A and B are shown apart, each in its own frame.
Chain A
Amino acid sequence: MKKLILLFSVITLISCSDESLDIVQTPIDKVKDPNADYNELRNAYFGDTHVHTKHSFDAYLFGTTGSPSDAYRYARGETVKHPAGFDMKLVEPLDFYMVSDHGFFMGMMEAYADTSTEISNAPGAEVFHNMNAPENLTLENGATRLNTFAQTLQNFFLNPRSYFDPELWQAVLTNNLARGLKIYDHDVHLSAWADVVKAANDAYDPGNFTTFIGYEFTTSTDVANENLHRNVMFKSSNAPKRPYTRIDSINPEDLWTWMDKIREQGIDSIAFPHNSNGSNGQMFEMETFFGEPLSKEYAALRMRNEPIVEMTQVKGTSDTHPLLSPNDEWADFEIMEARIGSIPPAFSFPAGGYVRDAYIRGLMSNQFGTGNPYKFGLIGASDTHVLGAGLREENYWSKIGLVDADPRARGSVPVSEEDRDVVPNRGGVSFKEFDQGDYVIGGLENWGASGLAGAWAEENTRESIFNAFRRKETFATSGPRILVRFFGGFDLDELTFSDENIIKSAYETGVPMGGDIFAEETDKAPSFLVWAQRDVNGAPLQRVQIIKGSISRADSSPTEKVYDIACSDGLQVDPETNRCPDNGARVDIETCAVSQNVGSAELKAIWTDPDFNKDDSSFYYIRVLENPTCRWSTWDAIRAGFKPREDLHDTIQDRAWSSPIWYTPNNAENPPPIRINAERL
């Protein structure tokens, strides 16, 4: 009997004391600014939901000492310092922002560096002592930082506490493995997370500026360490006592289950994966984490928790890859082919790593009766590790602080023999000789000044913007604030752009981006209304395209097609090729000057699908292209008195992507008859 009681109390202890399931109530009583806008037809708000501060172990290593509060000040338009000492400031403030520090080891690095803390005496911490003291914040020092990072992180996990250490038993009892590591200080971790929560709640200014409590769940496969990173975003001002991290589980399905559990406690959240391009095809696999077949339950679990994907950021764009979309002339855009974190860089297999391919896979899965786990909306974000991103090509500072603050270190300007010490001497860096000298190769040259999230929301509040994410009424841009409206439906062809109420009518007769349209009785093809507007501070628009993908009902073969639907400068789409004629926009590579009076301030069209087949599941999304401008690497080069590096694109066509609208035929989920070849049996 006694044993039984003991057993029961142990079980209760384990089940009750998981701090990742304890909700800390931090209510805020903020009233929306009475002068702020409310628009039932929704406004577009721009934000960055992927921002690291000193609490991220790697950001601190890269020299970042700014706090989440500093990050929010940057987003509101104030000036903050880059670790290398220069000022960072946005041209226009952002509407929403989320600090998303890495969940695991959150706050720890700063504590290691501060030699007055207890944890700085732990084995393995000494290499970090005084790391970011002012005298150590030098470009030369950036060189050794990445090395330190890679070597020490794995050692952390090899040093568990002894059986006599009460912390080890706390680790077991509170279901928190991290506490069992000698290098881990639970109080430091909790207070860093509390700071993230408090900073978000303090900086929230309903009506004018929205913040979200969030963090990054930085996980990867156990097979080859393939990237499965995702950010978690909370809806309310309350949050769990600690974030659920990769130390708890490396399986994203466990993260979603955890999100389900805290949702039951009233804490709604959504997650969005990023850098699928560097996941070696693992992000959108046709199987589960443990290699089980997809199922309706898996699809429901994933879609309930991950309705959004961050498809563009500094580490490349994951729209599609030239190998996956050989007939898309614009597929070769900010392609980053290295697996995330691979040193030296290893090639990331494209299939399963890009969103267009994932949409096709989702339709395929659904057709075979296992649900669609890839029916997500799109956003862009930066993944900056220095509080704020340089999203303009002409003012780019990459993202990893001291490591890539110098153009020579990021491969846009040649490095002389004497200056080799400005380049991070990590395993993956090597040099390649081009006409103008030796350049760094190995990844950073393929990063870019991207991206931003756009959300169509009634007002600038947490609820409204979170709901836009939930509805997938979101869009992504590679940096500029291009606005794009997108509606689909069977009666939208009756609307005209001269009608002052066109948007209202579009909401009434169709669905906005992120929505679904279903088969009708008639054979009529669906129509799509698109309206794009340039960024006041960006380049004029060149064309608007619809990208359509579908799965044949007859034989399950996928097709994909890019249609130009609106051309700049009054040009007309060639109905044979579905392409706009060249609008003549050019860039002078010597000065980065662009053609004047070419391109459009707005582009709009109502387009009816000419290749519609009512039996085929399909998706449609918008891509808006700006006129070409100089890429950041070209700006770097001409400023330093060089020509652009030969193997990089000189120019870039910055762009926006809408979330798709899906068309679902009747009986879409019934698997088509499987024909068995009798001779083969």
Chain B
Amino acid sequence: MLRKIAIFLVIGVLILGLDLTFSKFKDDKLIYVTEEEIYSLMNSWALQVGRNPNPDEAKAVIDNLIEEEILYREALRLGLDANDQIIKRRLAQKLMFLKQESKGTKLTELEISEFYKNNLDKYLIPAQYDFTHIYFSKEDEGSTRAQNAKALLDKSQEIKGDVFFLGKNFTNKSSKELRKDFGIDFSLEFEKLKLNEWSKPVESTYGSHLIKLVGFQDARIPELEEIKPRVLVDLELARKDSALSNYLDELKEDYEVIISRSLKQTYNE
């Protein structure tokens, strides 16, 4: 048993040694140009110039790529990337970009439904009403005329009001729209109306109205499936805002920041 372990260790060390030697060589001195790389280079060349490169040109493009790679590696070997402000910024920028973009692309069903549940009030569909009305303009003693008309209406007599700017019959009018179009007091009265019955006069910004409610839908929260596209947009937006700050917060926990003492002193003074 012991021998087996010993052999295993020896062979293991050997393989490790070999791998280290060769991989160092591989990393350092081997440049492998993939087909995809060449393909995309040729494509962008063609896009810029408007035709495919001839063999000489193709060779030049590939030579360029190789030279760039060699220079890049030599620069790394010489440690030119360390403490370079431009490179730092560029890398930080790249990561920031990735962090902002990548998360948005793979939203799970669970995340979507969680977000939807946490923001239900945002998706509330207010109550909607179908109604007709008889309008009596404020400009012409509307409230008195409306009272009289209501009395006649109760005796099933024909009555006639004024023509209303926004029309006579309304469907799917939400309480929000009523507030916007008739005023807040008018919109609040709708909760008290009875179906298919003429109301007593209801005051709006414009005058008095006798209203007959012919249909309504209570306020409701739509099912996720109904409004999924909207939830997705909202979630993506929320994600984008929070992704970067979350990521930064996470990272900050791992870092200890020491500020040069002399600098601290200058700042404090």
For residue A7, CB closer than 8 A to chain B, the reply is no
* A39 CA to B171 CA, complexed, in Å: 11
A115-B90 Cα distance, complex, nearest whole Å: 10
A570 contacts B50, C-beta separation under 8 Å: no
B89 touches A536 (CB 8 A): no
Would A498 and B162 count as touching, CB distance under 8 A? yes
Cα separation A203 to B233 with both chains bound (whole Å): 8
* A36: chain B residues within 8 A (beta carbon): 172
- A37, A500, A601: the one contacting B205 at CB < 8 Å is A601
Q: Assess whether A116 is in contact with B163, with CB atoms less than 8 Å apart.
A: no
Cβ < 8 Å to A, chain B residues 4-60: 49-50
Residues of A near B230 (CB, < 8 A) are: 205
Min Cβ gap B144→A in Å is: 15
Complex interface residues of chain B between 77 and 105 (CB less than 8 A to chain A): 86, 89-90, 92-93, 96
Q: Interface on chain B toward A: helix, strand, loop, or mixed SS?
A: helix
- Give the shortest distance, in Å, between B39 (CB) and chain A (any CB): 22
Residues of B within 8 A of A533 (CB): 165-166, 206
Give every chain B residue within 8 A of A534 (Cβ-Cβ). 205-206
Does chain A have a CB within 8 A of B256?
Answer: no
Q: Does B181 contact A (CB under 8 A)?
A: yes
Is B139 located at the chain interface by the 8 A CB criterion?
Answer: yes
Chain A residues, CB < 8 A from B137: 601-602
Once the chains bind, are B139 and A600 in contact (CB under 8 Å)? yes
Query: Residues of B contacting A115 with CB < 8 Å?
Result: 89
With A205-B230, A498-B162 in contact, do A12 and B50 touch (Cβ < 8 Å)?
yes
Of B49, B166, B179, B233, which contacts A202 at CB under 8 A?
B233
Interface residues of A in 166-214 (CB under 8 A from B): 202-203, 205
Is A9's CB within 8 Å of the partner chain B? Answer: yes
Q: Does B239 contact A (CB under 8 A)?
A: no
Partner of B165, one of A16, A92, A483, A498: A483
For A92, list chain B residues within 8 Å (CB): 179-180
Q: A30-B229, A536-B183 are in contact. Are A117 and B165 (CB under 8 A)?
A: no
Instruction: Known contacts A498-B163, A500-B168; decide if A13 and B205 are in contact (CB<8 Å).
Output: no
Q: Mark B150-186, 1 if CB is under 8 A from A, else 0.
A: 0000000000101101111000100000011111100
CA distance A41 to B92 in the complex (A): 56
B204-233 near A? 1/0 per residue, CB < 8 Å: 011100000000000000000000011001
| Whole-angstrom distance between the Cβ of B189 and the nearest chain A Cβ | 14
A502 touches B207 (CB 8 A): no
CB-CB under 8 A for A570 and B93, given A35-B172, A502-B163: no
Interface size on A, residues (CB 8 A): 35
Contacts of B168 in A (CB 8 A): 500
Q: Are A536 and B93 CB-contacts (below 8 A) given A35-B172, A500-B168?
A: no
Q: Let me know if B96 and A116 touch, CB within 8 A.
A: yes
Cβ-defined contact, A497 with B206, below 8 A: no
* Measured CA separation A500–B162 after assembly (Å): 8
Q: How many Å lie between the Cα of A467 and that of B57 in the bound state?
A: 52
A9 touches B50 (CB 8 A): yes
Which residues does chain B contribute within 8 Å of A502, judged by CB atoms? 163
Known interface pairs A202-B233, A498-B162, A531-B165. Does A601 touch B128 (Cβ–Cβ under 8 Å)? Answer: no
A69: Cβ under 8 A from any B Cβ: yes
From 58 to 86 in chain B, residues with beta carbon under 8 angstroms from any chain A beta carbon are 86
CA distance A570 to B162 in the complex (A): 16
Is B237 positioned at the interface, with any CB of A under 8 Å from its CB?
Answer: yes
Residues of B within 8 A of A417 (CB): none
Complex Cα–Cα for A9 and B183 (A): 66
Distance to closest chain B CB from A5 (angstroms): 11
Across the interface, do B165 and A116 meet the contact criterion of CB distance under 8 Å? no
Residue on B nearest A12 in the bound complex, by CB:
B50
Contacts of A602 in B (CB 8 A): 137, 139, 165, 206
**Is A521 part of the binding interface, using a Cβ–Cβ cutoff of 8 Å?**
no
Which residue in B160, B162, B237 is a CB contact (below 8 Å) of A69?
Answer: B237
The interface residues of chain B lying within 8 Å CB-to-CB of A9 are 49-50
CB of A576 within 8 Å of the partner chain: no
**Residues of chain A within 8 A of B179, CB atoms compared:** 92, 536
Say how far A321's CB is from chain B's closest CB, in angstroms. Answer: 32
CA distance A190 to B165 in the complex (A): 46
When C-beta atoms are compared, the residue in chain A nearest to B89 turns out to be: A116
**What is the bound-complex CA distance between A203 and B234, given in angstroms?**
10
Measured CB to CB, the nearest residue on chain A to B125 is A35
Asked if B50 contacts A118 (CB within 8 A), the reply is no
- Interchain CB contact (< 8 A) of A601 among B49, B160, B206: B206
Chain A 114-132 residues near chain B, CB threshold 8 A: 115-118, 121
How far does the Cβ of B42 sit from chain A's closest Cβ, in whole Å? 18
- Is B200 an interface residue when CB atoms closer than 8 A count as contact? no
Bound-state Cα–Cα, A533 to B206, Å: 8
A16-55 interface (Cβ within 8 A of B):
16, 30, 35-37, 39, 41
Of chain A, the residue at the smallest CB distance from B90 is A118
Given the complex of chains A and B, what is the CA–CA distance between A497 and B139 in angstroms?
Answer: 13
Are A35 and B128 neighbours in the complex by a CB distance under 8 Å?
Answer: yes
Chain A residues lying within 8 Å of B237, measured Cβ to Cβ, are 69
Whole-angstrom distance between the Cβ of A415 and the nearest chain B Cβ: 33
Q: Give residues of chain A (84-115) contacting chain B, Cβ–Cβ below 8 Å.
A: 92, 115
Q: Which residues of A contact B89 (CB under 8 A)?
A: 115-118
Bound-complex Cα distance A536 to B90 (A): 54
Q: Which of B86, B162, B165, B166 contacts A118 (CB 8 A)?
A: B86
Residues from chain B with Cβ under 8 Å of A41 in the complex: 167
Closest residue of A by beta carbon distance from B92: A116
User: B138 interface residue, CB < 8 Å from A?
Assistant: yes
C-alpha gap A497/B162 in the complex (Å) = 8
Across the interface, which residues of A come within 8 angstroms of B233, CB to CB?
A: 202-203
Contact of A499 with B by CB under 8 A:
yes
**Nearest 7 A-B pairs (CB), nearest first?**
A601-B206, A116-B89, A35-B172, A533-B165, A536-B183, A116-B93, A536-B205
Q: B residues touching A (Cβ–Cβ < 8 Å)?
A: 49-50, 86, 89-90, 92-93, 96, 128, 137-139, 160, 162-163, 165-168, 172, 179-184, 205-207, 229-230, 233, 237
A-B contact pairs, 5 of them (CB 8 A): A39-B167, A117-B93, A533-B165, A536-B182, A602-B206
> A116-B89, A116-B92 provided; 8 other pairs, C-beta below 8 A?
A30-B229, A39-B167, A117-B89, A117-B93, A118-B90, A483-B165, A533-B166, A570-B139
